Structure 1
Amino acid sequence: MAEELRNLFNQDFINNLSNAIKQEYPSFDDHLFQTLIYNDQWDELALKQRVRHISICLHQTLAMNLIEALELLKKIAPQFKGGLTGIIFPDYVEVYGLDNWDESIEALEYFTQFSTSEFAVRPFVIKNQSLMMNQFLEWSKHQNEHVRRLASEGSRPRLPWGSALSNLKKDPSPIFPILDNLKEDPSLYVRKSVANNLNDITKDHPELVLDIAQKWIGDNNETNWIIKKGIRTLMKKGNQQALELFGFANNPNIHITDLVATNTLTIGDTLTFSFHLQSTDEKPTKLRIEYFIDFIKANGKHSPKLFKLAEYVIAPGEKKVYTKNQSFKDLTTRKHYPGKHRISIVVNGEMKDSTDFFVK
């Protein structure tokens, strides 16, 4: 994925960027810009390295101060709307705008409407967290969904590919007023960010997120969706408070029997497993059925991976039979190794049954 994304910043993009700048700024030395871009390291640069390299080369080529550069970049940013390539504009602000706070914040608000400023705002949070959190709070009420999303995404303590915000990891309380403003946002784009922010916080302060979830639950379907996605890591870990928020309580009257799995398979084959599930409860029961596999790692240790199978309400006395296939082909995200593996069936966070199988 990262390889595909970095290739968005290719020769066609550099040409388009050069032409767009040249049209607004005729004295722009596009030849020098491209000479600086295509140095000996260009082909080896990863995604974020390419973005930063373009920002630096752009700064070296533009014969103007920051304010003038921002005004120029604002004119051409709309031409790169809706794609990842537009992140070069907020990246320029991140690198060269920290000492010009007001102008840079206004530029980041503008640029995020065409791509995203979620990475570029983070050095500003680190420099002056109080001021930036107030800005996020203001942005959380903005009429533009991209700016509202920036309020949540920019304040995530553990944003993937972004700098970690260590102070907010220790004390996430300044984030909560922002998320409270967004918990009923009409935009799914924004609501996803709110959920991901909450999920970040669960890694360090699960009790705080569970308290918020308890307060928010039942407000409306959109907020309930945010909560469920926001506590997904806790639910995967079998946290009973998280599961019970959505009615997935432990129940001794739910039984798993006849669990069988392919005894032996070769890397590249498919594991097939099946089991019977029955309720002996006298009332309908809400179920969240998952399975996890203890995969063997290169060092011989086990690494469990959880997979969701189904969610539904089972009737009193109802029986179900499940059959499922699991590929053991090597992936870019997971490599398989020979040895004894185990598959376990989990119902409402409780491991009900397990069996071993071998990979050779």
Structure 2
Amino acid sequence: MTKAAPVPLKLAMGEQRLRELAKLLRSVAPDFDAKTFLAVALDGLEDLTLMARVRQASAAIHAACPSGFDGALAMLSEAAPRLGGGFMSLVPPDYVGQYGRHAFDVSMAALRYFTQFGSSEFGVREFLRDDLPRALATMEAWSTDPSDAVRRLASEGSRPRLPWSFRLGAIEADPALTAKILGNLRADGSLYVRKSVANHLNDIAKTHPQWVLDLVGKWPAGNAHTAWIVKQALRTLVKQADPRALAAIGAGAAPRVAVGGFAVTPASIALGDSVTLSFELVSTSPDPQRLVVDYRIAYVKKSGATSAKVFKLKALSLAGGQRVSVRRSQHIRDFTTRTHYPGRHEVELVVNGQRMASAFFDLRR
């Protein structure tokens, strides 16, 4: 059976949805010019990415609302609860980010409101770029808000490397700027918030690994929510076998295991096929041990050289003398971020940062 092609994300902001938005805004604000909105919003729509469609919808609202920013904000505030979430909910905060920067207090309050129906993480970054100290002070207050959506916005909106947005260079250079926000959220009861805090810290770890390790090392270790954040925040450093990161999640000791039957099958594949890793881990210690098990594939590049990528396999506690069998399949196909080339691909098993075994598969032309 042939698999259906995935539906492009940008179609979530397709013509029908934009026509529905025009109808909704017209019902909320009788002076809203739906015809002008659609003329602007639909112009060249097919060639636009998802986020470009959001931005064009904001420009269309600006063109179609005769009462200016204040009128548009009132209209969007009434419409926001009826947008139904999804990518359409990004439009009101994007509008504020593009057209409300002259009214800081009003706009930041609007972003706090809108984020409870979707997310204002992209819109708020315009204010961080314009006036970082003032925006961060507001977001620090948000980090103690009763709403988990608002608390998440404090962390997510100030991430140095938020996907689909521009980087916040000042925070990337000096991560201490968001330390108070992260500290306020380090044991948050909401998984929605904790994921954001972990991702924020993982962003920082890519440029300031020791700063992140120093920070989380000061946090109380006994809280389960904090421990979850730390484990997720250090995932990139764990993949890199950073000794401090491994120690922070309890896997800093050298593994006392034997590896049996490590194999990658089949040994020869075509692009689009899958390979399966299989092996057995046997504890050689009488004591329990915490293990982080990864595998590393040395992908062949166009030049014939290789570039390694580490994949998470599993983390486990292995009792003294215990043995465990592990299998993992991986589909070898091209992505927008990776093109595969024929040749021999070495696969290494890595336990607590140490190479324990290797095998290979050949990718045929």
Q: Tell me which interval the TM-score lies in, with the shorter structure as reference length.
A: over 0.9
State the TM-score, normalizing by the size of structure 2. 0.92
Please list, as runs of the form range in 1=range in 2, the aligned pairs for 1:42-57 lying within 5 A after superposition. 42-57=45-60
> Is the CA contact 2:255–2:291 (under 8 Å) kept in the aligned structure 1?
no
Query: CA 1:357 to 1:24, structure 2 compared with 1: closer, same or farther past 3 Å?
Result: closer
Query: CA 1:29 to 1:319, structure 2 compared with 1: closer, same or farther past 3 Å?
Result: closer
Residue 14 of structure 1 and its aligned partner are, at CA, apart by: 1.7
Residue 296 of structure 1 and its aligned partner are, at CA, apart by: 1.6
Select which of 30, 33, 36 maps to 1:29. Answer: 33
> Is the CA contact 2:15–2:42 (under 8 Å) kept in the aligned structure 1?
no
What root-mean-square deviation, in Å, do the aligned CA atoms of Structure 1 and Structure 2 show? 2.0
Select which of 338, 341, 346 maps to 2:345. Answer: 341
| Alpha-carbon distance in structure 1 between the residues aligned to 2:98 and 2:6 | 22
Residue 334 of structure 1 and its aligned partner are, at CA, apart by: 4.1
> Is the CA contact 1:55–1:92 (under 8 Å) kept in the aligned structure 2?
yes
Please list, as runs of the form range in 1=range in 2, the aligned pairs for 1:63-212 lying within 5 A after superposition. 63-212=66-215
Residue aligned with 2:12, SS:
coil
Q: 1:232 aligns to what?
A: 235
Select which of 60, 65, 72 maps to 1:62. Answer: 65
| Alpha-carbon distance in structure 2 between the residues aligned to 1:121 and 1:251 | 45
Q: 1:11 aligns to what?
A: 15
Q: Which runs of 5+ in 1 are unaligned?
A: none
Q: 1:313 aligns to what?
A: 317
Q: Which runs of 5+ in 2 are unaligned?
A: none
| Alpha-carbon distance in structure 2 between the residues aligned to 1:159 and 1:340 | 35
Residue 318 of structure 1 and its aligned partner are, at CA, apart by: 3.0
Superposed CA offset, 1:99-119 (max 9, x none): 121111111111111111101
User: What is the letter of the counterpart of residue 356 of structure 1?
Assistant: F
User: What is the letter of the counterpart of residue 306 of structure 2?
Assistant: H
Query: CA 1:19 to 1:258, structure 2 compared with 1: closer, same or farther past 3 Å?
Result: closer
Residue aligned with 1:249, SS:
coil
Q: 1:292 aligns to what?
A: 296
User: What is the letter of the counterpart of residue 165 of structure 1?
Assistant: L
Query: CA 1:21 to 1:320, structure 2 compared with 1: closer, same or farther past 3 Å?
Result: closer
| Alpha-carbon distance in structure 2 between the residues aligned to 1:21 and 1:333 | 38
Please list, as runs of the form range in 1=range in 2, the aligned pairs for 1:217-296 lying within 5 A after superposition. 217-251=220-254, 253-262=256-265, 263-296=267-300
Residue aligned with 2:313, SS:
strand
> Is the CA contact 1:24–1:72 (under 8 Å) kept in the aligned structure 2?
yes
Select which of 323, 329, 354 maps to 1:350. Answer: 354
Superposed CA offset, 1:242-284 (max 9, x none): 1111221232532324433333223233323433322222312
Q: How many residues align?
A: 359
Residue 9 of structure 1 and its aligned partner are, at CA, apart by: 1.2
> Is the CA contact 1:21–1:76 (under 8 Å) kept in the aligned structure 2?
yes
| Alpha-carbon distance in structure 2 between the residues aligned to 1:219 and 1:109 | 32
Superposed CA offset, 1:23-44 (max 9, x none): 22212221222122222x2111
| Alpha-carbon distance in structure 1 between the residues aligned to 2:217 and 2:194 | 18
Superposed CA offset, 1:270-319 (max 9, x none): 32343332222231211111111112233433222222222222232333
Deviates more, 1:5-14 or 1:54-63: 5-14
Residue 76 of structure 1 and its aligned partner are, at CA, apart by: 1.0
Residue 172 of structure 1 and its aligned partner are, at CA, apart by: 0.9
Residue 11 of structure 1 and its aligned partner are, at CA, apart by: 2.5
Residue 352 of structure 1 and its aligned partner are, at CA, apart by: 1.4
Residue aligned with 2:285, SS:
coil
Query: CA 1:217 to 1:301, structure 2 compared with 1: closer, same or farther past 3 Å?
Result: farther
Superposed CA offset, 1:86-143 (max 9, x none): 1111111111111121111111111111111101111211111110110011111111
- The percent identity for this pair of structures is 39
Superposed CA offset, 1:205-258 (max 9, x none): 111111122122523111110111111111111111111112212325323244
| Alpha-carbon distance in structure 2 between the residues aligned to 1:55 and 1:321 | 54
